[in-house]
Structure 1
Amino acid sequence: MSPNRMRQKGEPNETTRRSGVLILFYPKGEDIYLPLILRPQYDGVHGGQMAFPGGRAELKDKGIQDTALREAQEEIGIKASDVKILGNLTELYINPSNLLCQPVLGYINYRPDFYPDEREVAAILEVPLSEFGKPETIQTRFVEARGFRFETPGFIVQEQIVWGATAMMVAELMEIIKGIE
């Protein structure tokens, strides 16, 4: 588990909802890529932020991996039935939205066509996995969220900052990759 996760305040409670996000790997050229989404600007907790596709669990979901697949299909238009589940990262409590989030790792053996849901996705960034391993990608920046301006570590990809829970997930993923190389 990334040390940054230890600084997260708050704990799940009786009103906490479960959620799942999909970290989808796919080949493109000579590299492995993953899609990140830019959430539209809105007054909610995660407006304008970079994220993995995903969302809250629904009663119709058979499990949290199904949640991640369903949400990714809804948000970015991938064909969920083509995704091979590889496993999960560490579940993460996201205090501002009171969600217990399960990052799910998946692989699809082709570059998918993306069809973003305009209500939930302002842009899709296709990011080479190798980009997160470059030291210059890891930076500290000032961000604004919920009327507060603060400094936070994150990953700079395609001129966007990936921070907060998404950055913690990426950091854990990169630790795992370093451990198997």
Structure 2
Amino acid sequence: MDFSVFSDIASKLKHLPLPGIAAQGKMTHPLRYQQMIRENPDQYSPKHAAVLALFYPDQNNHTHLLLIKRAVDGQTHSGQIAFPGGRRELCDPDHLSTALREAREEVGIQPELIREITPLTPLYIPPSNHLVYPFMGLYPHNQFVKDAREVEELIPWSTETFIEFPKYTEHVVTTDTGIKLSFPAFDAHGQT
């Protein structure tokens, strides 16, 4: 999708109601979805984090979403595919500041150049006890600099592969207790 067309669509999104947990539930295991509906994550005193779903044009002005593969460091989300972002620090006045700071640190963006920033529905992540606040933004450049301590790989993901022609795959995860769970996932260049 052409970046100018996508930008026009994105400018209208912030005025629409968010689909929330119902949309998140489509991409999780049915038991996890039931838990999402029943439980308030505040009961777990979660740590707060924020991420940035950053859309940008490639050299042909086609829209891409920037994903990262986290560096393997032994942490809970080590080696996982993610949006740039991380834990809220005391220096962050709000969740958006966290998302922008972390994206600057991890992939070298210039936060002041991001347009059409739209907050999305927060998501509780049980394995690390984080309540994640996602934001969507548009970035005019396609040059990024990864911090090798935090990011193993930058993954440009064309909107054609997940918006225009979405392909789902099944992904199996083994929990800390040894239970295998299967849930839908997107395939981003062989990464899920």
TM-score, scaled to structure 2: 0.75
1:130-169 superposed matches below 5 A? 130-133=160-163, 134-135=165-166, 137-144=167-174, 146=176, 148=178, 149-161=180-192
Whether 1:40 and 2:65 are equivalent positions in the alignment is no
Whether 1:49 and 2:80 are equivalent positions in the alignment is yes
Evaluate the alpha carbon distance shift between residue 141 and residue 14 of structure 1 in structure 2; reply closer, same or farther with a 3 A threshold: closer
* Structure 2 residue matching 1:157: 3-state secondary structure: coil
Which deviates more from structure 2 when the two are superposed, residues 7-16 or residues 34-43? Answer: 7-16
1:115 Cα shift?
A: 1.1
1:99 Cα shift?
A: 0.9
- 1:80-114 Cα offsets, whole Å, 9 max, x none, are 12112421110111111111111111111232x21
Give the paired residue count.
159
Whether 1:64 and 2:85 are equivalent positions in the alignment is no
**Matching residue of 1:179:** none
One-letter code aligned to 1:119: R
The percentage of counterpart residues that share the same residue type is: 35
1:75 Cα shift?
A: 0.5
1:144 Cα shift?
A: 4.5
CA contact under 8 A between 2:44 and 2:129: conserved in structure 1?
no
**Matching residue of 2:10:** none
Give 1 or 2 for the bigger CA radius of gyration. Answer: 2
CA contact under 8 A between 1:93 and 1:99: conserved in structure 2?
yes
1:156 Cα shift?
A: 0.5
1:22 Cα shift?
A: 0.4
Unaligned segments of structure 2, at least 5 residues: 1-19
**Matching residue of 2:43:** 13
For 2:79 and 2:115, locate their aligned partners in 1 and report how far apart those are by CA, in whole Å.
29
Unaligned segments of structure 1, at least 5 residues: 162-181
1:145 Cα shift?
A: 5.6
**Matching residue of 1:88:** 119
**Matching residue of 1:107:** 138
Evaluate the alpha carbon distance shift between residue 14 and residue 145 of structure 1 in structure 2; reply closer, same or farther with a 3 A threshold: closer
For 1:96 and 1:40, locate their aligned partners in 2 and report how far apart those are by CA, in whole Å.
18
- 1:10-60 Cα offsets, whole Å, 9 max, x none, are 623363111110011111124211110001223321111100000011111
Q: Which has the higher strand share?
A: 1
For 1:8 and 1:119, locate their aligned partners in 2 and report how far apart those are by CA, in whole Å.
34
One-letter code aligned to 1:21: V
One-letter code aligned to 1:117: D
CA contact under 8 A between 1:36 and 1:126: conserved in structure 2?
yes
Evaluate the alpha carbon distance shift between residue 160 and residue 77 of structure 1 in structure 2; reply closer, same or farther with a 3 A threshold: same
For 2:69 and 2:79, locate their aligned partners in 1 and report how far apart those are by CA, in whole Å.
6
TM-score, scaled to structure 1: 0.79
